[in-house]
Amino acid sequence: MRTLRSMNVTAIQPLPLDRARQAAPQVFERLREQIIALTLAPGTVLARNELMAQFGVSQTPIRDALLKLAEEGLVDIFPQHATVVSPIDLPAAQQAHFLRRSVELEVVRTLALRARESGADRSFVPRLQALIARQRAMLDAQDFESFAETDQSLHRQLCEAAEVPDLWALIRSRSGHLDRLRRLHLPVPGKAQSILDDHARILAAIADGDADRAQEALRQHLSGTLAQADEIRARFPDYVRG
């Protein structure tokens, strides 16, 4: 049986809430970010009273934020007992990978075919090149948290360029377990550099209008972490189940 760890309230790093906006979505986003980043690790108990004090809000926004986290499978709510950050669920990560690969294969194909068209809007290419350059600087600084955030931004912008931003929102909402697994894998020597190389190959193929090459580069890019799932689970048995 897993031992529940009491949450140290100082571990929560909430941004100041915008009082002109609803509190619950803001609390949800901040908690979600820290769960994905593993700042709030699997097994961490999220005490509602402590969250209320930390965010300076009433019980209702905290309850609503935790319910939404539960919908994404990121916390387990035990009524009248505790809310606990869930372990990483490998079957859920595998399903998220299937969804993401299916959508993004079509995204990169769409963008590559569009790049062949005369007068096509290619303004997203330099934007993505700039993101890759930022990732390279973050890798040099060993700033893996910012590196991972920029990685997500790059894939989001691919979907936006293909004019399917709602599909990125769907992928994101289903990918909490996969994204946490990737965070465990990211510090492994050579992994971040491999991600950078993959991004460069995907973008080069799109810019060249080579849809087949773009799809093959994407397949390679998205396959790395799940291929190492057994090793990751062996290294972090308290974090990963399934």
CA dist 85 and 95 (Å) reads 20
Amino acid at 223: S
Whether pLDDT at 2 is above 50 = no
Instruction: Give residue 15's pLDDT band: very low, low, confident or very high (50, 70, 90).
Output: low
Percent above pLDDT 90 for the chain? 84
Q: What's the CA gap between 44 and 129, in Å, rounded?
A: 38
**Domain 5-86, CATH class in plain words:** mainly alpha
Please state which CATH number belongs to domain 89-241. 1.20.120.530
Given a contact cutoff of 8 angstroms between Cβ atoms, the answer to whether 158 and 114 are in contact is: no
pLDDT of residue 21: 87
Most confident of 6-20, 202-216, 221-235: 202-216
Q: Which pLDDT belongs to residue 7?
A: 44
Say if strands 88-89 and 240-241 run parallel, antiparallel, or are unpaired. parallel
Q: How far is CA 195 from the centre of its chain?
A: 14
In this prediction, residue 9 carries a pLDDT of: 45
Parse the chain into domains and list their residue ranges.
Answer: 5-86, 89-241
* Tens-digit pLDDT profile for residues 174-196: 999 999 999 999 999 999 999 99
181: helix, strand or coil: helix
Which tens digit of pLDDT belongs to each residue from 97-152?
999 999 999 999 999 999 988 777 888 999 999 999 999 999 999 999 999 999 99
Q: Which of 150, 145, 242 is nearest to 196 (CA)?
A: 150
pLDDT at 18: 77
Residue 34 is predicted with a pLDDT of 95
- Per the CB < 8 A criterion, the answer to whether 54 and 9 are in contact is yes
Question: CB of 78 within 8 A of CB of 123?
Answer: no
Q: Say what the pLDDT of residue 191 is.
A: 94
Q: Can you give the length of the chain in residues?
A: 242
Structure tokens given for 187: 């510090």
- The whole-number pLDDT of residue 4 equals 41
pLDDT at 1: 33
Tell me the pLDDT tens digit for each residue of 67-102.
Answer: 999 999 999 999 888 899 999 999 999 999 999 999
Query: What is the amino acid identity at position 240?
Result: V
